[in-house]
């Protein structure tokens, strides 16, 4: 089992840094193709939620990303330092046809094998995501 | 993200390369806004070299599509990688965008509209 931990400031450029770090981790574990893309897009959606809605681009607040890879099973936690994130997730409405935002949670739900939202002791949001190797959603695309 | 522009008749073709995400989307919005201000409102986006797109990137595409329509224009897209095509489908944006398999097919469609 391999565990990777990264911490980012809440600035726009952090999205690219996180993706670059994740690309390197997945390459190390020979994860390629659409299975890799699924992990990248889900992680990016959760990360951007933390960046924009959790930490509200406050550079003093951090986002912690923990990725664990066991064989081909990937689990990840994305933890922000915001407030009331769980309530925002609960109140979320489906995006309208011409909306310019609000599609991230749907994308996470489509590609992840499981996703869990919890509030941390400090009031931030912890999103835990699992990609299982026998999940047909992912395997069919390898 | 890298943007390479060319004009084919009345249509401005933008080749996008790299990630279309939160950070890079603003650049595309600015380019399209500048084109629309110059009354260039027939736009085609070739996404062949877009290797990553997320909901922020999709939001930018919806935004520029709305801008093009506000300017009585048209925006088409083509050459979607399988993964990008799937993202369009699961978010149901495939219903609102004019998606073509190739750039040539998209450009042909502008000819047929003009001929009608």
What's the gap in Å between the CA of B73 and the closest CA on chain A? 17
Q: What is the pLDDT of residues A57-113, one digit of tens each?
A: 999 999 999 999 998 799 999 999 998 777 777 777 767 778 888 888 889 999 999
Q: Can you give the pTM of this predicted structure? A: 0.87
How many residues are present in chain B?
116
CATH of the domain at B27: 3.30.750.24
Q: Where are the alpha helices (DSSP H) in B1-116?
A: 22-37, 55-70, 82-90, 103-115
Assess A21–B contact: CB distance below 8 Å, yes or no: no
The boundaries of the domain holding residue B76 are 2-109
Whether residue A136 has pLDDT greater than 90 = no
Query: What is the spatial distance between Cα B42 and Cα B51, in angstroms, rounded to a whole number?
Result: 24
Candidates A103, A104, A108, A109: best to mutate against B (most CBs of B within 10 A) is: A103
pLDDT of amino acid A28: 94
Domain assignment of residue B73, yes or no: yes
Q: Strand, coil or helix: what is A21?
A: helix
Domain assignment of residue B85, yes or no: yes
Find the helix packing angle between A104-111 and B82-90, rounded to 10°: 120
Domain assignment of residue B21, yes or no: yes
Query: What is the spatial distance between Cα A30 and Cα B90, in angstroms, rounded to a whole number?
Result: 26
Mean pLDDT per segment of 10 residues, for chain B of length 116 residues? 95 96 90 96 97 94 95 97 92 93 97 67
Ranges of each domain in chain A: 2-131
Q: What share of chain A is helix, strand, coil (3-state, %, to 5)?
A: 40, 25, 35
Query: What is the spatial distance between Cα A91 and Cα A108, in angstroms, rounded to a whole number?
Result: 17
pLDDT of amino acid B42: 97
Instruction: Work out the angle at residue A77's Cα, subtended by the Cα atoms of residues A75 and A82, and round it to the nearest 5 degrees.
Output: 165
- The total number of structural domains in chain B stands at 1
Fold classified for A2-131: Heat Shock Protein 90 (3.30.565)
Whether residue A140 has pLDDT greater than 50 = no
């Amino acid at each position: 089992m391999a565990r990777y931990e990264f911490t980012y400031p809440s600035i726009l450029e952090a999205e690219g840094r996180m993706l670059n770090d994740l690309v390197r981790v997945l390459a190390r574990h020979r994860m390629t193709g659409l299975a890799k893309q699924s992990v990248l897009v889900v992680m990016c959606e959760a990360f951007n939620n933390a960046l924009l809605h959790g930490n509200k681009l406050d550079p003093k607040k951090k986002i912690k990303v923990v990725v664990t890879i066991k064989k081909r099973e990937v689990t990840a936690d994305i933890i922000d330092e915001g407030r009331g994130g769980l309530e925002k997730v609960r109140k979320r409405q489906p995006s309208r046809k011409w909306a310019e935002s609000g599609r991230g949670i749907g994308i996470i739900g489509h590609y992840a094998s499981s996703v869990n939202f919890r509030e941390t002791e400090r009031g931030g949001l912890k999103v835990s995501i699992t990609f299982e190797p026998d999940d047909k959603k992912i395997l069919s695309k390898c | 993200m890298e943007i390479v522009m060319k004009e084919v008749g009345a249509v401005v073709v933008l080749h996008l390369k790299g990630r279309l995400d939160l950070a890079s989307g603003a650049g595309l919005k600015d380019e399209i806004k500048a084109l629309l201000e110059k009354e260039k409102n027939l736009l085609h986006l070739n996404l062949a070299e877009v290797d990553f797109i997320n909901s922020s990137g999709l939001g930018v595409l919806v935004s520029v599509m709305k801008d093009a329509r506000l300017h009585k224009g048209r925006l088409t897209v083509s050459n979607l990688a399988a993964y990008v095509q799937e993202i369009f489908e699961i978010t149901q944006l495939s219903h609102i965008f004019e998606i073509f398999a190739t750039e040539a097919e998209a450009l042909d469609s502008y000819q047929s509209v003009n001929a009608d």
